[in-house]
């Protein structure tokens, strides 16, 4: 079976009211259609990707995200161009996001260019651009 991408990712945050404005602005910037936008969850869909954000159960609301624990390390959006990465960086900077690293080239694949940032809970999100077929190119 050949997969057709990831349908959605669900993120659980410690304080939904703190994280909601961040994701609301990010989804809007990424031109994601809001499928659900409530006091309990926000779910945006765009570019064949869905992201749902909701608050943690009360028992876990005082915990903090640790990317080296079992579970999610980070997730990465794929951009269509380097200029999109630069535009996202500008948007994030203007909206007070925590930037882990600004747009930079990396050796993960030929032409790999990315920005890495955190949501208000410290969950890491990356956006990258890889031209052509990247590591799937038989000549790379």
Question: Are 40 and 92 found together in one domain?
Answer: no
Question: Are 82 and 53 found together in one domain?
Answer: no
pLDDT > 90? residue 75: yes
DSSP 109-127: STT-EEEEEE-TT--EEEE
Question: Are 140 and 87 found together in one domain?
Answer: yes
| Residue 86 located in a structural domain | yes
| pLDDT the model gives residue 134 | 63
- 71 burial (CB, 10 Å; 0-12 / 13-18 / 19+) is exposed
| Residue 98 located in a structural domain | yes
| Residue 63 located in a structural domain | no
| pLDDT the model gives residue 70 | 85
The CATH number of residue 88's host domain is 3.10.180.10
| Residue 8 located in a structural domain | yes
pLDDT > 80? residue 138: no
Question: Are 78 and 127 found together in one domain?
Answer: yes
Question: Are 52 and 101 found together in one domain?
Answer: no
pLDDT > 70? residue 137: no
- Per-residue pLDDT of 27-70, as tens digits, reads 999 999 999 999 999 999 999 899 999 999 999 988 888 889 98
| pLDDT the model gives residue 6 | 86
Partnered with residue 114 across adjacent β-strands are 104, 128
| Residue 50 located in a structural domain | yes
CB atoms within 10 A of CB 111: 15
The number of folded domains in the chain is: 2
- Per-residue pLDDT of 96-136, as tens digits, reads 999 999 999 999 999 999 999 999 999 999 999 999 866 66
Closest by alpha carbon to 24, among 44, 9, 40? 44
Range of the domain at 21: 1-57
| Residue 66 located in a structural domain | no
What is the rounded end-to-end Cα distance, in angstroms, of the chain? 25
């Amino acid at each position: 079976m050949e997969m057709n991408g990831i349908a959605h990712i669900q993120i659980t945050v410690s304080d939904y009211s703190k994280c909601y404005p961040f994701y609301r602005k990010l989804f809007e910037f990424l031109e994601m259609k809001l499928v659900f936008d409530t006091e309990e969850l926000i779910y945006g869909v765009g570019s064949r990707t869905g992201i749902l954000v909701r608050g943690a159960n009360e028992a876990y609301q005082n915990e903090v995200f640790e990317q080296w624990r079992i579970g999610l390390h980070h997730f990465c959006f794929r951009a269509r161009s380097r200029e999109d990465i630069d535009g996202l960086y500008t948007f994030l900077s203007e909206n007070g996001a925590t930037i882990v690293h600004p747009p930079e080239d990396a050796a993960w694949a030929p032409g790999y260019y990315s920005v890495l940032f955190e949501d208000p809970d410290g969950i890491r999100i990356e956006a990258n651009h890889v031209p052509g077929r990247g590591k799937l190119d038989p000549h790379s």
